[in-house]
């Protein structure tokens, strides 16, 4: 590990303020929010343990033992019972939970297709050009020309072997689900093992493919980046009933038993679902969440798109019953594009999210991953088991919902 990256972890532990962001996309940029009362885990290489311990001797020791900084060996993750900000990396180790274990009950993985012609919410759109043009009257948005673009989307459903017919099961909705004919069996293996270990409830998982394209003017961007309850309403009205009908399962109505997870814009979509419909969802995981200004069409009520989460929505709103796990890489996206509005840095956006979540008293856990890019697979492979375990804290591990 090189010295500049190691200095990021040491600077955090010493309480050094974040430095000016660098414009280079490939370079490690900013640091975790300075917060000496927050746990900090360093797993940055062969010398990280000694260096971090030396730095900790110079740091204040909070009275609360649960808030003391934690030093861990390479490959370790934050404890799944503690809130706060953490450093992980850079020697990542794939978690053993992804491996099939003989004797562990295996759930079923099923797939079906939804046609946009049957949707009352999303008939399908795409844009003519690669991006669009800056609106001369509004630098916070772009002008794009779209055309009708019908689609078919695969819905992949994992049903644990422990599911009891007729009971209301907890469940997780994930975005950017796999295509038809290529289900994500790795996710099924992970869930099999964690359910058998009683670390998470016996949850049904619904992996929803997007409607195509990305960002402004495309169906995926319309679904994921729009700051409203519409996407959650589409899932509630059109996806979940088909899951129940097709596989003879019952999904809980209890928001404590409902979670949602996504990467990039799928991550911001996961939080958008819970934010606008907390009566439906309380638990959220985001990897490289797109908490930036990517909403289209423009909405003056949320003029900064998902950037408004940390700029005004969370700071200015009463605390909602949302439990949020987040990750971003130090080499994550920096994409000012033609807008140049100061709201297109993924690292800064996620750091700001951690700051406002802590200030408001939310249950959250934030991982800042060293030597990691956008939705970095090696980070996900190491951290997702503990992320899921943290997410489902407080819910009965036998998986029985209250409603």
> In the structure, what pLDDT confidence band is assigned to residue 7 with cuts at 50, 70 and 90?
very low
**Res 217: pLDDT:** 74
Given a cut of 90, whether residue 361 has pLDDT beyond it is: yes
pLDDT bin (cut points 50, 70, 90) of residue 33 is: low
Chain segment 69-116, per-residue pLDDT in tens: 344 445 578 888 889 888 888 889 999 999 999 999 999 999 999 999
Task: Name 285's bridge partners.
Answer: 261, 325
Is the pLDDT score of 68 beyond 70?
A: no
> Alpha-carbon distance 149 to 128, whole Å?
11
What pLDDT, on the 0 to 100 scale, is given for residue 233?
98
Q: In terms of pLDDT, which residue wins out, 131 or 210? A: 210
Answer whether residue 315 is part of any domain.
yes
Q: Name the more confident of 311 and 398.
A: 311
The pLDDT of 341-359, averaged and rounded, is 91
pLDDT at 13: 29
Residue 48 in any domain: the answer is no
Phi, psi of 158, deg, nearest 5:
-100, 125
Residues above pLDDT 90, as percent of the chain = 60
pLDDT of residue 172: 98
Tell me the average pLDDT across 241-257. 98
Per mean pLDDT, which range of 375-379, 387-391, 396-400 is the poorest? 396-400
- Return the pLDDT at 376: 96
Per-position DSSP letters for 132-164, written without gaps between them: -EE-TT-TT-EE--EEE---EEEEEEEE-TTPP
For 230-276, give the DSSP string.
Answer: HHHHHIIIIIHHHHHHHHT-EE---GGGEEEEEETHHHHHHHHHHHH
Q: Which residue from 119, 151, 133, 120 is spatially nearest to 296, judged by alpha carbons?
A: 133
pLDDT of residue 29: 65
Specify whether the CB–CB gap between 302 and 313 falls below 8 A.
yes
Average pLDDT over residues 136-165: 89
14 belongs to a structural domain: no
Q: What angle do CA 367, 57, 52 make, to 5 degrees?
A: 40
Residue-range definition of the domain harbouring residue 253: 97-391
Assess if residue 17 is contained within a domain.
no
| Number of residues that this document lists for the chain | 403
What's the pLDDT score for residue 148? 86
Token digits of residue 258:
């409902």
Looking at residues 385-397, what average pLDDT do you find? 94
State residue 334's pLDDT score.
86
What are the pLDDT digits (tens) for 280-304? 999 999 999 999 999 989 899 999 9
The span from the CA of 366 to the CA of 87, in Å, is: 9
Cβ–Cβ under 8 Å, residues 70 and 80: no
Which positions ≥6 away from 24 have C-beta within 8 Å? 334
pLDDT at 346 over 80: yes
> Alpha-carbon distance 41 to 60, whole Å?
16
The domain tally of the chain equals 1
DSSP string, 19-85: PPPPS-TTS----PPP-TTS--EEB-STTHHHHHHHHHHTS---SSGGGS-EE--TT----TT--EE
Taking the CB of residue 120, how many other CB atoms lie within 10 A of it? 9
145 assigned to some structural domain: yes
- Alpha carbon distance, N-terminus to C-terminus of the chain: 50
- 217/146 Cα distance (integer angstroms): 6
CA nearest 232: which of 306, 122, 110? Answer: 122
pLDDT tens digits along 40-64: 443 333 344 344 333 333 333 222 2
Which pLDDT score is estimated for 37?
A: 42
Q: CB–CB of 229/274 below 8 Å?
A: no
The domain that holds 179 is classified in CATH as 3.40.50.1820
pLDDT tens digits, residue range 191-208?
999 999 999 999 999 999
What pLDDT was estimated at residue 45?
A: 38
Cβ atoms within 10 A of the Cβ of 205, count?
23
For residue 90, being part of any structural domain is answered with no
> What average pLDDT does range 314-321 have in this prediction?
98
Predicted pLDDT at 265 = 95
Query: Of 33 and 248, which is predicted with more confidence?
Result: 248
Is residue 293 within 8 A of residue 140, CB to CB? The reply is yes
Q: Is residue 1 part of a domain?
A: no
In a domain, 66, yes or no: no
The answer on pLDDT for 374 being more than 50 is: yes
Question: Among all chains, which residue has been given the structure tokens 């019953």?
Answer: 321
Distance, in Å, from the CA atom of 8 to the CA atom of 148, rounded to the nearest integer, reads 47
* Mean pLDDT, the chain, integer: 82
User: Does 308 have pLDDT greater than 70?
Assistant: yes
Count Cα neighbours of 123 within 13 Å in the Cβ-side half-sphere. Answer: 4
Half-sphere exposure of 95 (CA within 13 A, CB side): 22
Residue of 229, 334, 343, 207 lying closest to 280 (CA atoms): 229
In this structure, how many other beta carbons lie within 10 angstroms of the beta carbon of residue 322? Answer: 19
Kindly tell me the burial class for residue 373, based on how many C-beta atoms sit within 10 Å of its own C-beta (0-12, 13-18, 19 or more): middle
Radius of gyration over every alpha carbon of the chain, rounded to an integer in angstroms: 21
At 398 the pLDDT is 66
Say if residues 210 and 117 touch (Cβ distance below 8 Å). no
User: What per-residue confidence (pLDDT) applies to 292?
Assistant: 94
């Amino acid at each position: 590990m090189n010295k500049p990256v190691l200095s990021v972890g040491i600077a955090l532990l010493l309480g050094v303020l974040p430095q000016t962001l660098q414009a280079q996309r490939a370079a490690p940029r900013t640091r975790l929010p300075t917060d000496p009362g927050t746990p900090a885990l360093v797993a940055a290489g062969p010398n990280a343990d000694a260096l971090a311990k030396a730095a900790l001797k110079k740091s204040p020791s909070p009275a609360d033992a649960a808030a003391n900084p934690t030093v861990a060996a390479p490959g370790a993750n934050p404890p799944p019972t503690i809130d706060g900000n953490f450093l992980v990396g850079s020697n990542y180790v794939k978690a053993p939970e992804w491996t099939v274990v003989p004797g562990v009950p295996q759930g079923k993985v099923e797939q079906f297709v939804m046609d946009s012609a049957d949707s009352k919410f999303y008939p399908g759109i795409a844009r003519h050009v690669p991006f669009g043009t800056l609106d001369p009257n509004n630098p916070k948005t772009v002008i794009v020309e779209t055309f009708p673009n019908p689609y078919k989307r695969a819905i992949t459903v994992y049903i644990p072997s422990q599911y009891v017919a007729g009971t209301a099961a907890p469940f997780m909705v994930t975005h950017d689900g796999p295509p038809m004919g290529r289900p994500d069996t790795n996710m099924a293996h992970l869930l099999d093992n964690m359910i058998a270990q009683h670390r998470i409830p016996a949850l049904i998982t619904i992996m929803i493919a997007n409607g195509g394209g990305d960002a402004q003017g495309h169906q995926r961007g319309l679904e994921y980046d729009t700051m409203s309850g519409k996407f959650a309403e589409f899932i509630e009205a059109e996806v979940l009933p088909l899951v129940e009908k097709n596989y003879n399962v019952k999904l809980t109505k209890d928001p404590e038993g409902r979670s949602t997870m996504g990467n990039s814009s799928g991550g911001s979509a996961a939080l958008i679902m819970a934010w606008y419909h907390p009566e439906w969802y309380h638990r959220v995981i985001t990897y490289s969440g797109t908490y930036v200004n990517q909403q289209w069409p423009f909405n003056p009520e949320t003029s900064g798109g998902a950037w408004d989460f940390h700029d005004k929505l969370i700071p200015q709103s009463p605390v909602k019953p949302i439990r949020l796990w987040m990750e971003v890489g130090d080499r994550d996206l920096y994409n000012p594009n033609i807008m140049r509005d100061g709201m297109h840095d993924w690292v800064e956006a996620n750091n700001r999210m951690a700051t406002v979540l802590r200030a408001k008293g939310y249950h959250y856990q934030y991982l800042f991953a060293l030597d990691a890019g956008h939705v970095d697979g090696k980070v996900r492979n190491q951290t997702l088991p503990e992320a899921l375990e943290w997410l489902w804290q407080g819910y009965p591990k036998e998986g029985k919902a209250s409603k």
